[in-house]
Amino acid sequence: MERRQPPNLPGIKKKLDPVGEGTYTFVVGLVTGVKGLRGDLKLKLKGNIDLIDNIKTVQIATADGARQIAHVRSFKAEQKLVLMALKEFEDRTASEGIIGATLFTERSQLNALSEDEWWLDDLVGLTAFTVEGEELGKVSAVFGETSQLLEITKGEKSHLVPFVKALVPVVDIKAGRVEIVNLPGLFD
């Protein structure tokens, strides 16, 4: 089972506020350079290439705060590079102007996750139960650089639960629940 971390939310505590603008909240990657006269963008991906190989549009966010929607002309992996060509940037000179920019896309454009995968942001708000069915509270946050802790909150109390299959064997986004093995001392 693979638990995917949305690449646009790094840090100690996951923020739910999108980094992109509007519906463009999923970070594709950073433009690190340009290849060829046609202006193919070299990308440093922030996520799995299998999720983004069919995207149609991106939002370009430059360091000065400017944003622009662009249409993907081509997307390919070439040796150790990931290259993307945009219809609005037809040559090397135009593409060089966005080196250092971050590209975002809409989550709806991403390839579907398999049944045993989910976005960590989708966990926040789920009701946490023991595997025996006792309600423990709500998932209020996901902590850690690699999202290894769930914060379960009930009333004024919060508890951190290691987010591993042995302790969190059931994640059911559709049913709005996670099930946690209630080890002695975990919720005391």
Residue 136 pLDDT greater than 90, yes or no: yes
Confidence of residue 147 (pLDDT cuts 50, 70, 90): low
Residue 7 pLDDT greater than 50, yes or no: no
pLDDT value at residue 38: 93
Q: Which of 44-48, 63-67, 88-92, 137-141 has the lowest mean pLDDT?
A: 44-48
Amino acid at the residue 52: I
Q: Mean pLDDT in the chain?
A: 85
Phi, psi of 13 (to 5 degrees): -120, 130
**Secondary-structure class of domain 120-180 per CATH:** mainly beta
For 12, counting Cβ atoms within 10 Å of its Cβ (0-12 exposed, 13-18 middle, 19+ buried), the class is exposed
pLDDT value at residue 19: 47
Residue 3 pLDDT greater than 70, yes or no: no
Q: What is the mean pLDDT of residues 66-92?
A: 92
Element (H, E) at 49: helix 49-52
Angstrom distance (rounded) from CA 3 to CA 168: 12
For 87, counting Cβ atoms within 10 Å of its Cβ (0-12 exposed, 13-18 middle, 19+ buried), the class is exposed
Residue 42 pLDDT greater than 90, yes or no: yes
Domain boundaries for CATH 2.30.30.240 within the chain = 120-180
- pTM of the full structure: 0.67
Q: What is the mean pLDDT of residues 15-39?
A: 77
pLDDT value at residue 8: 38
Domain boundaries for CATH 2.40.30.60 within the chain = 24-109
Q: Assess contact for 82 and 45: CB atoms under 8 A.
A: yes
**Secondary-structure class of domain 24-109 per CATH:** mainly beta
Angstrom distance (rounded) from CA 48 to CA 41: 17
Angstrom distance (rounded) from CA 101 to CA 72: 15
Give, in degrees to the nearest 5, the angle at Cα 185 between 183 and 188: 120
